[in-house]
Chain A
Amino acid sequence: MSFIEMKNVTKTYRMGEVEIKALDEVGFGIEKGEFVVIVGPSGAGKTTILNILGGMDTATSGEIYVDNETITQFDEKALTTYRRDDVGFVFQFYNLIGNLTAVENVELALQISQNPLSAKTVLQEVGLGNRMDNFPAQLSGGEQQRVSIARALAKNPKLLLCDEPTGALDYITGKSILKLLQDTCREKGVTIVVITHNLAIAPMADKVIKVKNGKIDQILMNKRPTPVEYIEW
Chain B
Amino acid sequence: MTKGMRKDFRREVKHSFSRFLSILLISALGVAFFAGVRSASPAMLASADATYDSENLTDIRILGTLGMTKDDVATLLSLDGVQGAEGIFTKDLLCETDKQIVVAKALSLTDSINLLKVKQGRFPESYNECIVDGAFLEASGYTLGDTVRLKTGTEEKLSDTLAEDEFLIVGVGETAYYMDDDRGSAAIGDGTVDGLVIIPKEAFTQEFYSEVLVTMTGAAEMSCFSDEYDALLNRVRANIESIEEQSCAARLAKFRQDADSKLNDAKFEFQKKKDKAISDLGDAYQTLMNSQAELESGRQEIEQKRGDIEELRMLLDSGDERVESGKTQIAEARQAINDLEAQKNELEAEIERQEAAVVEKEKQLQKDAPYISNQEYYQRSLEIVRDTATVEYYKNQLPTIEQSIAAVNERVEIAEAFIEDYPKAAATARERIAEGEKQLEEAEKKIQDGEIALDRAKEDYEVASEDAEAEITAAEERLQKSEDEINNMQMPKWYILDRTSISSYAAFKNDADSIRAVGTVFPVIFFLVAALVSLTTMTRMVEEERTEIGTLKALGYSKRAITAKFVLYALLSTLIGSILGAALGEALLPTLIIRTYRLVYTNLTKVVITVQLLNAVIAALLAVLATVGGAMAASVRVLFEEPASLMRPAAPQMGKRIFMEDIDFIWLRLNFAQKAACRNLFRYKKRLFMTILGVAGCTALLLVGFGIRDSVKMVPEKQFGEVVAYQGTVGADTSLSRAERRQLLAKVASVEGVTDYLQTKSIVTYAQTEKGETTAYLIVPQDTAKLGEYVHLRTARFPHEDCRLTDDGVLITAKFAKLLGVSVGDMITIKEDKTADPVGDVRVAGIVENYLNHYIYMTPNIYKALYGETASLNAALIQTQEGADAGKIAESLLQINGVTSVTMNADTQRQVNEMLGNLTVIIAVMILAAGLLAFIVLYNLNNINITERRRELATLRVLGFYDGELAAYVYRENVILTLFGIVCGLLLGFVLHWFVMQTIATEMVMFGVGIRALSYLFSVLLTVVFAALVNFIMYFRLKKIDMVESLKSVE
Interface residues of A (CB under 8 A from B): 47, 51, 54, 56-57, 77, 80-85, 87, 89, 91-93, 95, 97-101, 104, 107-109, 111-112, 135-138, 151, 163
Q: A137 is contacted by which of B655, B956, B961, B1043 (Cβ under 8 Å)? A: B655
Given contacts A51-B1044, A85-B960, A87-B960, 18 further A-B contacts (CB under 8 A): A47-B1047, A51-B1047, A80-B957, A83-B960, A84-B960, A92-B1047, A93-B1050, A95-B955, A95-B1046, A97-B676, A98-B654, A99-B656, A104-B675, A108-B956, A112-B960, A112-B965, A137-B652, A137-B653
Check B654 against A137 for contact (C-beta < 8 Å).
yes
Give Cα A148 to B142, complex, Å.
87
Task: Return A81 CB to nearest CB of chain B, in Å.
Answer: 7
Residues in A with CB closer than 8 Å to B1044 are: 51, 56-57
Residues of B within 8 A of A (CB): 651-656, 672-673, 675-676, 679-680, 683, 951-952, 955-963, 965, 1043-1044, 1046-1050
Residues of B within 8 A of A108 (CB): 672, 676, 956, 959
* Chain B CB within 10 Å, residue with most, of A77, A98, A138, A151: A98
Cβ contact within 8 Å between A109 and B959: yes
Taking CB as reference atom, which chain A residue is nearest B959?
A109
* B1048: A residues at CB distance < 8 A: 93
Complex Cα gap A92–B683 (Å): 25
CB distance from A90 to the nearest CB of B (A): 11
Smallest CB separation, B668 vs chain A (Å): 14
- Residues on A with C-beta less than 8 A from B675 are 104
A-chain residues with CB within 8 Å of residue B955 when the two chains form the complex: 91, 95, 97
Identify the interface centre among B654, B683, B958, B1046: most chain A CB within 10 Å of its CB.
B958
Consensus secondary structure, chain B interface: helix
Determine the distance from Cα of A207 to Cα of B245 in the docked complex, in whole angstroms. Answer: 120
Nearest B residue to A82 by beta-carbon distance?
B960
Bound CA–CA A92/B655 (angstroms): 21
Question: Which one, B652, B673, B680, contacts A111 given CB within 8 A?
Answer: B673
The complex places the Cα of A98 from the Cα of B683 at a distance, in Å, of 10
Q: Which residues of A contact B961 (CB under 8 A)?
A: 80, 84, 112
Flag if A97 contacts B672 (CB, 8 Å): no
Contacting residue for B952 out of A56, A87, A97, CB 8 A: A97
C-alpha spacing A85/B654, complex, angstroms: 30
Task: State in angstroms the CA–CA spacing of A107 and B676 once bound together.
Answer: 11
| Contact yes or no, B683 A99, CB < 8 A | yes
Q: How far is the CA of A82 from the CA of B680 in the complex (A)?
A: 28
21 contacts between A and B (CB under 8 A): A47-B1047, A51-B1044, A51-B1047, A56-B957, A56-B958, A57-B1043, A77-B962, A83-B958, A91-B1047, A95-B955, A97-B955, A99-B676, A101-B655, A108-B959, A111-B672, A112-B959, A112-B960, A112-B965, A135-B655, A138-B654, A138-B655
Given the interface contacts A104-B676, A111-B673, A163-B1047, does A98 sit within 8 Å of B653 by beta carbon? Answer: yes
> For the complex, what is the distance from the CA of A145 to the CA of B676, rounded to whole Å?
21
Residues of B contacting A104 in the complex (Cβ-Cβ under 8 angstroms): 672, 675-676
Contacts of A97 in B (CB 8 A): 676, 952, 955
Question: Which residues of B have CB within 8 Å of A98?
Answer: 652-655, 952
Cα A111 to Cα B1050 with chains together (Å): 25
B910 to A: closest C-beta gap in Å: 60
Q: Closest Cβ of chain A: how far from B1042's Cβ, in Å?
A: 9
Name the distance in Å between B945's Cβ and chain A's nearest Cβ: 13
Docked Cα-Cα span, A84 to B963, in Å, equals 12
Q: Which residues of A contact B1047 (CB under 8 A)?
A: 47, 51, 91-92, 163
Chain B residues with Cβ under 8 A from A107's Cβ? 672
Docked pose: A91 CA to B955 CA in angstroms: 9
**Chain B contacts for A84, CB-based, 8 A:** 959-962
Residues in chain A near residue B679, CB distance under 8 A: 99-100
Question: Hey, which chain B residues are within 8 Å of A135, CB to CB?
Answer: 654-656
Q: Which 4 A-B pairs have the closest CB atoms?
A: A84-B960, A135-B655, A83-B960, A95-B955
Residues of A within 8 A of B962 (CB): 77, 80, 84
CB closest residue in chain B, given A133:
B657
Contact status B655-A100, CB under 8 Å: yes
Contacts of A92 in B (CB 8 A): 1047, 1049
Contacts of A93 in B (CB 8 A): 1048-1050
| Residues of chain B lying within 8 A (CB to CB) of residue A138 | 654-655
Q: B951 near A95 (CB under 8 angstroms)? A: yes
B960 contact set on A, CB distance < 8 A:
80-85, 87, 112
Q: Which residue of A lies closest to B1048 (CB)?
A: A93
Distance in Å: Cβ of A64 to nearest Cβ of chain B = 17
* B956 contacts across to A, CB distance below 8 A: 108
Q: How far is the CA of A98 from the CA of B652 in the complex (A)?
A: 7
Shortest C-beta distance, A111 to chain B (Å), equals 6
> A60 → chain B, closest Cβ, in Å?
16
Residue of A107, A135, A151 contacting most chain B CB atoms (<10 Å): A135
Q: Which of A47, A87, A97 has the most CB of B within 10 A?
A: A97
| Complex Cα spacing A99 to B680, Å | 7
Residue on A nearest B952 in the bound complex, by CB? A97
Minimum distance in angstroms from A182 CB to a CB of chain B: 23
Cβ contacts under 8 Å, B959 to chain A: 83-84, 89, 108-109, 112, 151
* In contact, A137 and B1046 (Cβ under 8 angstroms): no
Complex Cα distance A74/B655, Å? 37
Which residue of B652, B952, B958, B1049 is within 8 Å of A89 (Cβ)? Answer: B958
Residues of chain A lying within 8 A (CB to CB) of residue B958:
54, 56, 83, 89, 91, 95
Residue of A nearest to B681 (CB): A99
Expressed in whole angstroms, the Cα–Cα distance for A51 and B952 within the complex equals 17
Q: Indicate the member of B672, B955, B961 with the most A CB atoms within 10 Å.
A: B955
A136 touching B1043, Cβ below 8 Å: no
Give the residues in chain B near A87, CB-CB below 8 Å.
960
B1049 touching A99 by the CB < 8 A rule? no
Smallest Cβ distance from B309 to chain A, in angstroms? Answer: 136
A135 to B652, CA, bound (A): 10
Most chain B CB neighbours (cut-off 10 Å) among A57, A80, A97, A99: A99
- Chain A residues within 8 Å of B1049, by CB: 92-93
Residue of A nearest to B966 (CB): A80
A83 partner residues in chain B, CB cutoff 8 A: 957-960
Is there an interface contact between A137 and B651, defined as CB atoms closer than 8 Å? yes
In the bound complex, residues from chain A placing their C-beta under 8 Å from that of B676 are 97, 99-100, 104, 108
CA distance A92 to B1049 in the complex (A): 8
- Bound Cα distance A203, B652 (Å): 34
